[in-house]
Structure formats: structure tokens, C-alpha cells
Amino acid sequence: MFFNQSKLIRRRIVFHGRVQAVGFRYIAGMAADNSGATGWVRNEYNGAVTMEIQGTEKQISQVLLTLQNARHIEIDDMEVRELSVIENEKRFRVRY
């Protein structure tokens, strides 16, 4: 199957599992910066972590692979939703 490697996409992903107090947001920010993806990540009151990430399919996959392979993070479930691309978004931020 062929898909456009350079087309920008945006996804909202809610992560469940051992995803808070394990460096998740820091690792997500570093991985997004390294891949060139933009968006944001934040902790939720229910113990989940929400991330909106924008980039190519390859960039987003790189970030997810980094998170899945991180030492103390255990992702049990991810809820993924496609969103509209935000024009002119410049960076990835950790929200508090």
C-alpha cells in the first residue's frame, strides 16, 4: 500500500496505562522535537495523558515508537482520533 510520506496529518491520542510520573511528557516532547512533529501533550486528572500531534505519518510513528520503547512507560491502550491540521503550528509543547 502506498501513502503520501510528506502529507501533514494531526491526531489526538489519549494514552492509558502507566503514563504519568514516568517522564512521558518529557520523552514525548523530546521525540517530537527530534522528529520535527508539532502539537502538545498534557496529563489528565484521570491518570491518562492526552497528546495532539501533527506531522507526517513517519514523524508520528517515530514519536509513538519512542514512547512505546521507553523504559518506565507502559501503554495499555490508545484512543486515536483524526483531526484537522493546524496551519502554521511551529513547535511541540508540554502543557501543565
Is residue 18 among the annotated active site residues? no
Alpha-helix runs per DSSP H in the chain: 24-35, 57-69
The closest alpha carbon to 95, from 61, 44, 36, 56, belongs to 44
The radius of gyration computed from the CA coordinates of the chain, to the nearest angstrom, equals: 13
Is residue 34 among the annotated active site residues? no
Which one from 12, 18, 42, 43 is the annotated catalytic residue?
Answer: 43
CA distance 48 to 64: 15
CB atoms within 10 A of CB 34: 13
Active site residues: 25, 43
